Amino acid sequence: MAYRLWFPVAVVLLHLFASLVIATPQGDALIQVAKDWQTSFSSWLPGTDPCKNSWVGVGCDADHINVISLNLTNSNLRGPVPMVIGNLTSLEALDISNVKYTDMNLNAVTGNVSALAPLRNLQLLNISRNVLGVTKFPEVVQTLLNIRSLRFEHDLIPGPFPVGLTNLKKIEYLYLGNNSFSGPIPKELGLMTSLKELTIWGSNYNSKLPPEIGNLVNLTYLNCNRCFLWGGLPPEYGKLKNLEKLHFYKNTLTGPIPDEYRNLTNLIELRIESNQLFGSFEPWIIGLPNIQLVNVNFNQLYKSLPPVIDRTTTNLTQMYVKCNYFTGKYPLIDPSFTTEFDANCYDNPGVNGTFDVMCSRELSCIPFQSFLTSNGGCPPCPNGQYLANKTLCICYGDKIATSNKEYPISAIVGGAVGGAVVAAVALLLICLCMRRRRKFDPDRDFFNTEVRDGGKVEPWDAPKGVQRYTLDDLVRATNNFSKEHEIGSGGFGKVFYGNFPGNKKLAIKRASTSTSANGQTQFRNEVLLLSRLHHKNLVRLEGFCDENNLQILVYEYMRNGNLHSHLFRKSAGKYLDWYKRLEIAVHIAQGLEYIHSFADPPVIHRDVKPTNILLDGNLVAKVADFGISKESLELHTHVSTNPAGTVGYFDPEYFTTQKLTTASDVYSFGVVLLELLTGQKVIDHVSRGEEYNLIKWVERRVEEGGVDLIVDTKLEGNYPRQIFLKMATLALHCSASEKKERPTMKAVVTALEPLLREVGRPKAETEAVWTELPAEAADNESTFTGSSSQSFSHHGALKQSKAVIDPR
Ligand SMILES: Nc1ncnc2c1ncn2[C@@H]1O[C@H](COP(=O)(O)OP(=O)(O)OP(=O)(O)O)[C@@H](O)[C@H]1O
Ligand SMILES: *[C@@H]1O[C@H](CO)[C@@H](O)[C@H](O)[C@H]1NC(C)=O
Ligand SMILES: *[C@@H]1O[C@H](CO)[C@@H](O)[C@H](O)[C@H]1NC(C)=O
Ligand SMILES: *[C@@H]1O[C@H](CO)[C@@H](O)[C@H](O)[C@H]1NC(C)=O
Ligand SMILES: *[C@@H]1O[C@H](CO)[C@@H](O)[C@H](O)[C@H]1NC(C)=O
Ligand SMILES: *[C@@H]1O[C@H](CO)[C@@H](O)[C@H](O)[C@H]1NC(C)=O
Ligand SMILES: *[C@@H]1O[C@H](CO)[C@@H](O)[C@H](O)[C@H]1NC(C)=O
Ligand SMILES: *[C@@H]1O[C@H](CO)[C@@H](O)[C@H](O)[C@H]1NC(C)=O
Ligand SMILES: *[C@@H]1O[C@H](CO)[C@@H](O)[C@H](O)[C@H]1NC(C)=O
Ligand SMILES: *[C@@H]1O[C@H](CO)[C@@H](O)[C@H](O)[C@H]1NC(C)=O
Ligand SMILES: *[C@@H]1O[C@H](CO)[C@@H](O)[C@H](O)[C@H]1NC(C)=O
Ligand SMILES: [Mg+2]
């Protein structure tokens, strides 16, 4: 009883007494600490006890005896950690960080922190946002064996990652973000099994992720964004079954999202945006039971997304997938989700034209600035694409021509990076040339258009059957490349016709093979290959010019120009009647069948489309631009992964297989055949809207209403329905999205040829063979995008014959 009564009184008295006591060793030490750090606190009164009077920032144990915590955030600390701090041996927590960046002028703790060595009881240490100015991570920290929580963030500490921290067997929270560590992330981190949170973001590790981190089974948070990581996501991390947040954004990680991550059933946030991840996006990712946020923006993921994304399929609330290469349907998304889905390669582009349909990266896709050192600040392009515009970081994978402002930019399938440089130089040149028209000067316009390797020409015997021309020959034949000799323009520049001795008219264009060391060899191999390809439906190579390292090809002149310009004009019904169209289809098929069967491995055209079908004086169709740089024998493996082609005509299987095959030509042929039947362009957002792709448009209409609904109205009903139905069916068959459903060119020829015989040439028009179709100008019209060859531009090096003969 007496004890109960007297106890509180005693405590009060003790307190009174204590506050009168002259000094405590801890108080003295703290006062000295403040002094050494060039600061002071009004509540820290000399002669009082820090545990019995409320010293700001000081925390004591329950008995008010020992100082166990010191929180001096934003306290105007200056200079090194005072040695006397070591007198506070009971200290368990020390926070001398700044709270925000803007406070960094407040605490400015500098120098080494070896004064902490005596603090054997320290469990929490936070020295973030200071300016330590050390040359490596302080070793003393690695001796504080009771540490549970350690923060050295934003301290710009250089040197290797502090492997010695693995000594800290009790550590649960390790925050080392935003330093300047270099060298690999050590695999020893995998020994720190007590870790719950590990964030080591923002250093230049330049390494792979160590699989050993997968052993940290208690980990809930793993953050290594901006770590200069490369290599793949380790499948071993699928073992982190407690993981809630995984942040690996802004690195250069490659490869797929491992299937093992299905086991991350506690994952809430997956942030792997701005990498180079490649592969599919499997539905299980959004099906993880706890997932709320997925961000895979700015990667190279392809294949399709789950078709439906709503509350029945996922617990997600935020999903970001923009700037990838997703194909297939644009998913149906619950509108209450926060999403970013644009800039992909969907079949059905956004209803408002906001989504990219071209598989090209747009301005908003320029990601991470640390790529600034290479590629002019752009991330690497995906396989088979090249950087076509370094200002906008646009990778071109396809090309598309359109006059509609809403769907801008022509995008191209191109070749290697080397090609990008050539293309960029050439583009720039064309831009300049367009602005300032000037007279042709071979020195300037030929020799300065690109870098050449010193003009050393190894002796070479031209293959039989082709003529070797000098530049002089060509200048003479074209009257110094005068405007009157221009017959067209494609890729980078113009195509000319020339009058050669013997009253021969020939077409001159430049091959845009690489100008690198082996460019010359490549060019010669191609000339060799072309010189052997002879067929009535192939535009024949007559000669070449390799003087001064130029790579110019000289072809037979095709008097009636290209199929595109005839098919898409008002008079197309008259000059290209139904029979002519069937004939042209047979011609193209025969030409392609020939190149496919000519050699093993086969020659693949890669860019079958109406501007590459040329018509001679008798309206015989011949395939142009085959062979070169596409399937030269020597470069087989190289080129097979580098496509060239045009959107709409381009084999969609490429996006899954990364390979172009003869079946890719069959696909393009199918599209050209559809254009022949319908007189419509493969891509037309303006007149067909949602069904902008001709294949889909034809498919649906033929199915629902028969062939009459699709045939070119310019034919005014003059066509044999049965035959056109057969052709349409064949065309759809050829342009099946799956390669295995397409026939071979041989089968196509076998199917088409009998149709010609079946009907025979119609009487009325039979003899009306035009020797020359009327000039385009006669009925030039807006439906023919006269500038198409301009906007169909920018090829990579491996795209052939992008004539750069540009005299202006
Ligand atoms: N041998 C030729 N005879 C007559 N005209 C030709 C010949 N070669 C090319 N042309 C004309 O020059 C145009 C441009 O040809 P080029 O191959 O450079 O570009 P393109 O095929 O129109 O487009 P792309 O650059 O996308 O292939 C052709 O469309 C055609 O009208
Ligand atoms: C710190 O401790 C040392 C030795 O225990 C002692 O000599 C010194 O006076 C103390 N310093 C202060 C400021 O209390
Ligand atoms: C120290 O105080 C700041 C605010 O003054 C607070 O944000 C921080 O969490 C505290 N540190 C510790 C270790 O509690
Ligand atoms: C310093 O780190 C500790 C431990 O992680 C944390 O509790 C504290 O809030 C941090 N201080 C500040 C100012 O953020
Ligand atoms: C750290 O600083 C103290 C004095 O400030 C000095 O005695 C010690 O040698 C230094 N340690 C290192 C590793 O630089
Ligand atoms: C990293 O730290 C530095 C200085 O400590 C700071 O200026 C910078 O903003 C920080 N970076 C990030 C991304 O927080
Ligand atoms: C993981 O956490 C559990 C529960 O907190 C604990 O019992 C276990 O010891 C921890 N594992 C390791 C390796 O520290
Ligand atoms: C998930 O974990 C289980 C065991 O925990 C294992 O048997 C299975 O193979 C794992 N799944 C994957 C996809 O790794
Ligand atoms: C969403 O979360 C609930 C509760 O955690 C869970 O039962 C359900 O399976 C989750 N839904 C999906 C689609 O994973
Ligand atoms: C398209 O535009 C309409 C009207 O501006 C808007 O209500 C709708 O949400 C837009 N759709 C998309 C998918 O952006
Ligand atoms: C890249 O695109 C920008 C904006 O459209 C344009 O101004 C620039 O000329 C382009 N650069 C090249 C090399 O085409
Ligand atoms: Mg062409």
Kindly report the protein residue whose alpha carbon is nearest to atom 14 of ligand 3. 71
**Residues 489 and 434 grouped into a single domain:** no
- Ligand 4 nearest atom to the CA of residue 98, by list position: 13
Domain assignment present for 184: no
Q: Please tell me the pTM assigned to this model.
A: 0.54
Say what the pLDDT of residue 742 is: 96
Q: What is the 3-state secondary structure (H, E, C) of 47-89?
A: CCCCCCCCCCCEEECCCCCCEEEEECCCCCCEECCCHHHHHCC
The residue from 399, 430, 445 where one domain ends is 445
Pocket test for ligand 3, best of 68, 71, 72 (most atoms within 8 A of CB): 71
CA of 682 to the centre of ligand 1 (A): 19
Higher pLDDT, 21 or 233: 233
Asked whether residue 176 is domain-assigned, the answer is no
Task: Give the model confidence (pLDDT) of 380-413 as tens digits.
Answer: 555 555 666 665 445 554 332 222 222 222 222 2
Task: Tell me whether residue 808 is in a domain.
Answer: no
Q: What band does 23 get if pLDDT is binned at 50, 70 and 90? A: low
pLDDT at 442 over 50: no
Both structure tokens of 804: 């750069």
For residue 541, name the pLDDT band (cuts at 50, 70, 90): very high
Distance 310 CA to ligand 6 centre (A): 38
Query: How many angstroms is it from 461 CA to the middle of ligand 3?
Result: 81
How crowded is residue 519: how many other Cβ atoms within 10 Å of its Cβ?
Answer: 22
Ligand 4 binding pocket includes 151 (Cβ within 6 Å) = yes
pLDDT in tens, 555-610: 999 999 999 999 998 888 788 999 999 999 999 999 999 999 887 778 888 889 99
Confirm or reject: Cβ of 262 under 6 Å from ligand 8: yes
For the cut 60, the answer to whether the pLDDT of residue 188 exceeds it is: yes
pLDDT value at position 231?
79
> CB–CB of 202/177 below 8 Å?
yes
Which ligand lies nearest the alpha carbon of 622? 1
- Exposed e or buried b for every residue in 166-180, given b needs 16+ CB within 10 A? ebbeebbbbbbbbbe
722, pLDDT greater than 80: yes
Strands (E), 473-592: 486-490, 493-500, 504-510, 541-545, 552-556
Q: By three-state DSSP, how is residue 497 classified?
A: strand
**C-beta of residue 728 within 8 angstroms of C-beta of residue 674:** yes
Centroid of ligand 9 to alpha carbon of 350 (angstroms): 30
Under the banding of pLDDT at 50, 70 and 90, the label for residue 104 is: low
Using the atom order of ligand 10, give the atom closest to the CA of residue 351. 13
Q: Which domain holds residue 100?
A: 1-143+155-169
List the single range of 172-176, 441-445, 637-641 with lowest mean pLDDT.
637-641
Are 411 and 500 contained in the same domain? no
Tell me what pLDDT residue 347 has. 65
User: Same structural domain for residues 616 and 673?
Assistant: yes
Angle subtended at Cα 697 by Cα 648 and Cα 688, rounded to the nearest 5 degrees = 85
Single residue among 430, 445, 460 that ends a domain in this structure: 445
User: Can you say which residues are annotated as belonging to the binding site for ATP?
Assistant: 509
Residue 392 CB–ligand 11 contact under 6 Å: yes
Q: Is 177 a member of any domain?
A: no
Ligand 10, residue 354: give the atom nearest the CA. Answer: 14
If you write DSSP's letter for every residue of 577-631 in order, what string do you get? Answer: -HHHHHHHHHHHHHHHHHHHHHSSSPP-----SGGGEEE-TT--EEE-S-STTTS
Tell me which of 21 and 708 has the higher pLDDT. 708
Q: Is residue 136 part of a domain?
A: yes
For residues 523 and 571, membership in a common domain is answered with yes
What total number of domains does the chain contain?
3
Cβ atoms of 600 and 492 within 8 Å: the answer is no
Nearest one of 216, 284, 226, 223 to 251, comparing CA atoms: 226
**CATH number, domain with residue 654:** 1.10.510.10
φ/ψ of residue 730, rounded to 5: -60, -45
Per-residue model confidence (pLDDT) at position 776: 45
Q: pLDDT class for 206, splitting at 50, 70, 90?
A: confident
pLDDT at 763 over 70: no
Q: What is the pLDDT of residue 391?
A: 54
Q: Kindly give, in sequence order, each residue whose CB lies less than 8 Å from that of residue 746, ignoring residues fewer than 6 positions away.
A: 593, 596, 597
Q: Average the pLDDT over each of 243-257, 453-467, 654-668 and give the range with the smallest value.
A: 453-467
- Res. 801: pLDDT tops 60: no
For residue 175, the one-letter residue type is Y
Q: Are strands 180-182 and 158-160 parallel, antiparallel or unpaired?
A: parallel
Say which DSSP state 116 is in: G
Query: Atom of ligand 11 at shortest distance to CA of 428?
Result: 13
Q: What is the structure's pLDDT at 323?
A: 78
Q: Classify the C-alpha dihedral 282-287-289-290 as positive or negative.
A: positive
Percentage, residues of the chain above pLDDT 70: 72
Strands (E), 195-240: 197-199, 221-223
Whether 105 and 218 map to the same domain: the answer is no
Residue range 133-152, pLDDT digits in tens: 888 999 999 999 999 999 99
Burial 470-496 (b: 16+ CB within 10 A, else e): ebebbeebbeebeeebbbbbbbbbbbb
Please give the average per-residue pLDDT across 32-44, as a whole number: 94
Protein residue with least CA distance to atom 1, ligand 2: 87
In the structure encoding, which two tokens stand for residue 546, read together? 């390799």
Please name the amino acid found at residue 374.
S
Band (521; pLDDT cuts 50, 70, 90):
confident
Same-domain check for residues 424 and 519? no
Check whether residue 477 and residue 433 sit in a common domain: no
Phi/psi at 670 (5° precision): -55, -40
Task: Count Cβ atoms below 10 Å from residue 575 Cβ, excluding itself.
Answer: 18
Please give the pLDDT value at position 9: 58
Same domain, 670 and 757: yes
Closest C-alpha to ligand 10, atom 9: 352
Q: What is the CATH number of the domain that holds 164?
A: 3.80.10.10
Give the DSSP H/E element, type plus range, for residue 165. Answer: none
- pLDDT number for residue 652: 79
- Which residues are CB-neighbours of 634 under 8 A, at least 6 positions away? 521, 522, 525
> In the structure encoding, which two tokens stand for residue 564, read together?
């595109």
99 shares its domain with 11: yes
Ligand nearest to the CA of 268: 9
How far is CA 530 from each of CA 186, 315, 458, 716, 717, rounded to the nearest angstrom?
55, 58, 20, 41, 41
Q: Give the C-alpha separation, 793 to 358, whole Å.
A: 14
- Per-residue pLDDT tens digits for 743-759: 999 999 999 999 988 87
Domain boundary among 445, 479, 505: 445
pLDDT band at 420 (very low <50, low <70, confident <90, very high): very low
Asked if residue 180 belongs to a domain, the reply is no
Q: What tokens does 398 get?
A: 């396809």
- Closest residue (by CA) to atom 7 of ligand 9? 289
* Same-domain pairing of 109 and 232: no
- Band (762; pLDDT cuts 50, 70, 90): low
- pLDDT confidence bin for 628, thresholds 50/70/90: low
Tokens of 647: 């959107």
* Mean pLDDT, the chain, integer: 77
User: Residue 766: which residues within 8 A CB-CB, separation 6 or more?
Assistant: none
Residue 101 CA to ligand 5 centre (angstroms): 27
What are the pLDDT digits (tens) for 168-179?
A: 999 999 999 999
**Binding site membership of 32 for ligand 2 (Cβ less than 6 Å):** yes
Residues 87 and 230 both lie in one domain? no
The residue whose C-alpha atom lies closest to atom 7 belonging to ligand 2 is 87
Specify the amino acid at residue 747. A
Q: How far apart are the C-alpha atoms of 562 and 542, rounded to whole Å?
A: 19
Confidence bin at 677 (pLDDT 50/70/90): very high
Model confidence at 73: pLDDT above 70: yes
| Residues acting as catalytic residues | 607
526 and 635 belong to one structural domain: yes
How would you classify the pairing of strands 293-295 and 269-271? parallel
350 Cβ below 6 A of ligand 10: yes
Helix (H, G, I), strand (E, B) or coil at 374: coil
CB of 509 shorter than 6 A to ligand 1: yes
The answer to whether residue 175 is domain-embedded is: no
